[in-house]
Amino acid sequence: MKIAIVDDQMSDLLSAESHLLKYVRETHPGILGRLRIETFSSGEEFLESFEPGKFALILLDIYMGSMTGLETAEAIRLQDEKVPIMFLTTSAEHILEGYRVFAAGYFIKPLASNAAEFARSFEHVLPELLAQEKDISIPVAGENVDIPFRNIVYVDINDQHTLRLHLAESEVNTLLPYANCSEILLQDNRFLECHHRIILNMDYVSLMDKDEFILKDGSKIPISQRRKRDAKVSYMSYLAHR
Span 51-84, pLDDT tens digits: 887 888 999 998 888 888 889 999 999 988 888 8
pLDDT digits (tens, 9 = 90+) for 183-207: 999 999 999 999 999 999 999 999 9
pTM exceeds cut of 0.85: no
Give the single-character DSSP code of 110: P
Residues 101 and 176 occupy one common structural domain: no
Output the CA–CA distances (angstroms, integers) from residue 242 to 36, 60, 201, 202, in the order listed. Answer: 26, 23, 13, 10
Domain boundary among 132, 153, 178: 132
Domain with 56 in it: 2-132
Phi then psi for residue 234, to 5 deg, are: -65, -40
Tell me: pLDDT of 98 over 80: no
Same domain? For 113 and 153 the reply is: no
| HSE-CB of 213 using CA atoms within 13 angstroms | 29
Do 8 and 124 sit in the same domain of this protein? yes
Q: Does residue 231 share a domain with residue 151?
A: yes
81-90, 104-113, 132-141, 210-219, range with the lowest pLDDT:
104-113
Structurally, the chain folds into a number of domains equal to 2
- Please check whether residues 75 and 158 belong to one and the same domain: no
Phi/psi of residue 154, nearest 5 degrees: -160, 165
Kindly give the residue spans of alpha helices, DSSP state H, lying in the chain.
Answer: 10-27, 43-49, 69-79, 95-98, 115-132, 178-185, 228-241
Q: Are residues 182 and 117 in the same domain?
A: no
Three-state SS for 198? strand
Is the domain of 26 the same as that of 125? yes
At which of 132, 159, 190 does a domain end?
A: 132
**Statement to judge: residues 24 and 119 lie in one domain:** yes
The CATH number for 159's domain is: 2.40.50.1020
Single-letter amino acid code for the residue at 219: S
Residues 21 and 76 in one domain: yes
- What is the DSSP annotation of 83-96? S-EEEEES-STTHH
Cα separation, 72 vs 172, in Å, equals 31
- The CATH number that applies at residue 126 is 3.40.50.2300
Last-in-domain residue among 101, 132, 163: 132
Cβ distance 221 to 213 under 8 Å?
yes
